[in-house]
A and B are shown apart, each in its own frame.
Chain A
Amino acid sequence: MEKDTSLSNKADEFLQVFRKGEEFTKDLLKENEKLRFRIAQLEESLQRSGDEARTKLYEDRIHLMEDEINSLRERFRQVEEENKDFASKYIEVEEENNNLANLYVASYQLHSTLDFSEVLRIVLEIIINLIGAEKFAILLIDDKTNELIPVSTEGMAVSEAPRVKIGDGLIGNVAKEGESFFADDMTGVTGINPLEPIVCIPLKIKEHVIGVISIYKLLMQKERFNNVDYELFNLLAGHAATAIFSSRLYTQSERKLTTIQSFLDLLKEKPRK
């Protein structure tokens, strides 16, 4: 009987210990669950804070890139402006180059001969083809009469061109002053007055005027002179003046030489008779 009681007490004790163990295990499990939950919370918060930091970093980068894009856009705009500037300068240089080339060829042609009529023909060709004139006259000063005498014309007869006293009217004044004349309106010229050209350019060697070029009508497709034409025409007139002057002088001296030679030949022949 006593044995039974002691066994029963031991079993109760064991059960109690077991129950305590069970409760302890349950507590441990609860605690474990709490800890897991806490860890999960911490991990989540850690991840969130990491995302925020990354977002901040990305935002900063975006701002930097936006600034960079804006600065690149500004630079691009500047380069585009510079490019436009260079392009227009290139066109200007190209035009200048073309005009220089034309001037070179024209002056080369003008100085390629000492034949007076050949030089006049070249001057005519240049005025037609480079300046675009349809009706014009070349008048040279006759030192004996102090008059401008027409020596060559295009689009009109030489007899139609005027003889003008130096200082008389528009043409005479250009010869006297040595200053070019350009009419404001070069279009719509129907009736031609030989004394009133639309353009009159002095043929000058330094400050010495030897004649003028009087233009009465431009080619129908040439409506007006542009800046380059004024420059080119003045330069060409300078070359034309030198070429005309030297060829005229050469032709005159050739003629004189022939006369003198003939005279000398005559003198040599006389004693033989």
Chain B
Amino acid sequence: MPNILVVEDSPTMRQLISFAIKRIPSSHVIEATDGVDALKKLSSEKIDLILADINMPVMDGLKLVSLVRGNPAYKDIPIIIVTTEGAEEDRKRALSIGANAYLPKPIQTQQLLKLVSTFLPT
């Protein structure tokens, strides 16, 4: 059962993403409200995929990506950035620090599910 960590400060958005992902058979969603909360969840659960927003309080999504990539225990976990930042330079920046994919909001559920499926272990 793949564990997907959804890191998003907006409760509405967090619930929207989680609700969509739960439709992937046998997937399990773990929620975190910011980068620090995500690191806590990473230390206590085996995570297969991370979906993270960029703009979050306490610790933003980009900082989270660099910390995850710098930690040998988590460095191979795929990370999808889901954000309202749609500029090309934001996308390039996120990918250059180690994000695997970049999905600008508003999210299209089908697009999100397709992207998530490509990063889940078979």
| Chain A contacts to B: CB under 8 angstroms | 94-95, 98, 101-102, 104-106, 108-109, 122, 125-126, 128-132, 134, 219-222
Contacts and interface: CB of A to CB of B under 8 A. Distances in A.
Interface in B3-43: 10-13, 15-16, 19-20, 23
B48 to A, nearest CB: 23
B109 A129 contact: no
B117 interface: no
A105 B106 contact: no
Interface in B40-97: 84, 86-87
Most A CB within 10 A of own CB, among B23, B86, B108: B86
Interface residues on B, range: 10 to 19
B106 A101 contact: no
Contact of A219 (B12, B19, B84, B108): B84
Contacts of A134: 84
A105 B86 CA distance: 24
A243 B84 CA distance: 25
A129 B110 contact: no
B58 to A, nearest CB: 18
Contacts of B110: 94-95, 98
Given A129-B10, A129-B84, A221 B16 contact: no
A222 B109 CA distance: 15
Given A101-B20, A105-B16, A221-B86, A129 B106 contact: yes
Contacts of B23: 101
B106 to A, nearest CB: 4
B109 A101 contact: yes
B19 A101 contact: yes
A129 B19 contact: no
A132 B13 contact: no
A109 B12 contact: yes
A122 B110 CA distance: 23
A105 to B, nearest CB: 5
B10 A125 contact: yes
Contacts of B11: 109, 122, 125
B106 A130 contact: yes
A132 B106 contact: yes
B12 A125 contact: yes
A105 B87 CA distance: 28
A187 to B, nearest CB: 13
Contacts of B104: 219, 221
A105 B10 contact: no
20 contacts: A98-B108, A98-B110, A101-B109, A104-B19, A105-B12, A105-B16, A105-B19, A109-B12, A125-B10, A125-B13, A129-B10, A129-B84, A129-B105, A129-B107, A130-B16, A130-B106, A219-B86, A220-B86, A221-B86, A221-B104
A105 B109 contact: no
B109 A128 contact: no
B102 to A, nearest CB: 11
